[in-house]
């Protein structure tokens, strides 16, 4: 039996249908079929094979959202049952966005200034952790209302970096 959900991924709302078949998943995203093989590696890390390509992602639940990371890219995803007015529920989550560090580290660069207009996916700050630089991006378009850190600041995972309105 297929499960139908609505997923808000960044600024897009997608209709998703998932069905488990013979140990893999058949996933329809806005009507486009994908056969996906998913394996849990450890904790929040997964290996996915879809369309002949392999992906390693981490999925961390934080409140009502999932923070999905692939490499240095991060996308905030919210799921909802479409039979419960999901699109209307997502509109309520459209307020200010808190951009937070996805891991402890050192702020290397701030890529925007207060008052700047940003697009979804645009880099806000770069945090270095374990000698790797990770660009933290906005998940929706808006205006940078505030920046809470400066270069060389040390941050914990979940620390506020900026607010986008």
Percent of the chain surpassing pLDDT 70: 88
pLDDT band at 128; cut points 50, 70, 90: confident
Which residues have C-beta within 8 Å of that of residue 17, sequence separation ≥ 6?
2, 3, 4, 5, 27, 28
Using 50, 70 and 90 to split pLDDT, how confident is the model at 147?
A: very high
Question: What pLDDT score does 144 carry?
Answer: 95
Partners of residue 45 on adjacent β-strands: 42, 58
Residue 104 confidence class, pLDDT cut points 50, 70, 90: confident
Q: pTM of this prediction?
A: 0.49
For the stretch 74-100, pLDDT in tens is 888 887 755 444 444 444 455 788 888
Spell out a b/e string for 2-34, using b for 16 or more CB atoms within 10 Å of the CB, else e: eeeebbbbeeebeebbeeeeeeebebbeeeeee
Query: What are 157's two structure tokens?
Result: 């995972």
Q: Determine the topology of domain 97-164 in CATH.
A: OB fold (Dihydrolipoamide Acetyltransferase, E2P) (2.40.50)
In percent, the amount of the chain with pLDDT more than 90 equals 25
The pLDDT value recorded for residue 154 is: 93
**Average pLDDT of the segment spanning 50-62:** 86
What is the pLDDT of the chain when averaged over all its residues? 82
**Which CATH architecture is the domain 3-92 placed in?**
2-Layer Sandwich (3.30)
Q: What are 4's two structure tokens?
A: 């139908």
| Domain locations in the chain as residue ranges | 3-92, 97-164
Would you state the pLDDT for residue 150?
Answer: 96
pLDDT of 101 strictly over 60: yes
């Amino acid at each position: 039996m297929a499960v139908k959900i609505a997923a808000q991924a960044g600024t897009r709302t997608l209709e998703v249908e998932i069905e488990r078949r013979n140990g893999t998943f058949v996933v329809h995203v806005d009507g486009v079929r994908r056969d996906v093989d998913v394996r849990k590696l450890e904790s929040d890390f997964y290996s996915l094979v879809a369309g002949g390509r392999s992906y390693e992602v981490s999925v961390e639940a934080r409140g009502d959202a999932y923070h999905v990371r692939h490499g240095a890219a991060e996308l905030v995803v919210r799921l909802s049952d479409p039979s419960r007015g999901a699109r209307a529920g997502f509109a309520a989550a459209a307020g200010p966005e808190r951009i937070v560090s996805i891991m402890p580290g050192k702020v290397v660069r701030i890529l925007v200034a207060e008052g700047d207009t940003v697009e979804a996916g645009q880099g806000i700050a770069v945090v270095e952790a374990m000698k790797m630089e990770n660009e933290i991006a906005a998940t929706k378009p808006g205006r940078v209302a505030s920046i809470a850190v400066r270069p060389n600041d040390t941050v914990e995972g979940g620390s506020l970096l900026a607010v986008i309105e």
